[in-house]
Amino acid sequence: MSMQQALNRALAEVMTENPRALILGEDVGQLGGVFRITDGLQKKFGEARVFDTPLAESGILGMSVGLAMAGYHPIPEVQFDGFAYPAVNQIICQVGRMNYRSRGKLPMPITLRVPSFGGIRAPEHHGESLEAMFAHVPGLKVVSPSGPNEAYHLLKYAATRQDPVIFMEPKSRYWQKGPVNTGADAAGYRPTGSRVVREGKHLTLVAWGAMVARCLQVAELAAEDGIEIEVLDLRWLKPIDAEGLAASVAKTRRAVVVHEAPRTSGLGAEVASIISERCFGTLKAPVERVTGFDVPYPSGDLEDEYIPNIDRILYGIQRVLEYRRG
């Protein structure tokens, strides 16, 4: 099934299993969301549990805070990543802090779904990469799936947490299909930590969201030249799976971090720091970053130049492999 279908199914199961779960956002009800992630859920669970809100993201998150305080598990959606900016005050000052502020008496079990990143040639404010901003807020957890199976399991897992989780869905991957394990053998599966999606021994590519698929393409091409690339899907951007990250890089002794967000103060810097702290003695080269540029996200016509493409990632790999000390 596609990632869109996997997310829809995960939400339906969450709503069935937890009668206190609610879905809210702009057009999530009758329309089923701009990307149809909530398609059919209002008809199945009723207007009291799946409902549309005014076009006010601050109100969507403020309402979610109140619902969480009343014992519900809100699953709000903001239509596009750039629309999260008006809700930042609620996210930082209420969602991330309420549990701490109340000494645990008012947990915030809110799963905020944010269609994220670029790749669909959309206008301004429709292709942002906000993971570093969210990850910097104490009290929040941040996760991003890379494919349908991960989307299904990560959303089901996130929606059972008592902590607020920012669920960043790579919108360019919504319609990509893949196998999804929904069988009984998947019951109890806890998608925590990172995941090695391709084994290798010469270098580790670290990515998340839509960049995982691109890194797998790069690894295929590199293999034609005898270079075995390991691809690590970070999945959880906060907390970062430092143990899994270090285990992969300790094996390959080289790392390249790939993300769509601008380079400066991007999450790649945090990943590089963790690698340096844990693998400094064994690294054969400095950690390389292949990222978006330090400019506002461009219009659709320039998107291919902005998002890390195969050539830029291969060039980053080449710089690391050819690095010589002294």
Residues 6 or more apart in contact with residue 19 via CB below 8 angstroms: none
Supply 314's token pair: 């291969």
Reference 62, options 97, 38, 89; nearest CA is 89
Q: Which of 134, 112, 313, 320 is nearest to 207 (CA)?
A: 313
Q: DSSP letter at 296? A: P
Q: Which of 73, 125, 126, 259 is catalytic?
A: 126
Number of other CB atoms surrounding residue 70 within 10 Å: 10
Beta bridge partners of 184: none
Q: Per the structure block, which two tokens stand in for 261? A: 């967000």
- 28 — alpha (psi -120 to 50), left (phi > 0) or beta? alpha
Q: What is the DSSP string of 217-260?
A: HHHHHHHTTT--EEEEE--EEETB-HHHHHHHHHHHS-EEEEEE
Contact 7, 152 (CB under 8 A): yes
Q: How far apart are CA 154 and CA 169, in angstroms?
A: 11
Q: Is 126 considered catalytic here?
A: yes
Record the tokens describing residue 136, joined without a space. Answer: 């910097």
Distance CA 9, CA 86 (A): 29
In three-state secondary structure terms, 203 is: strand
Q: Which residues are catalytic?
A: 126
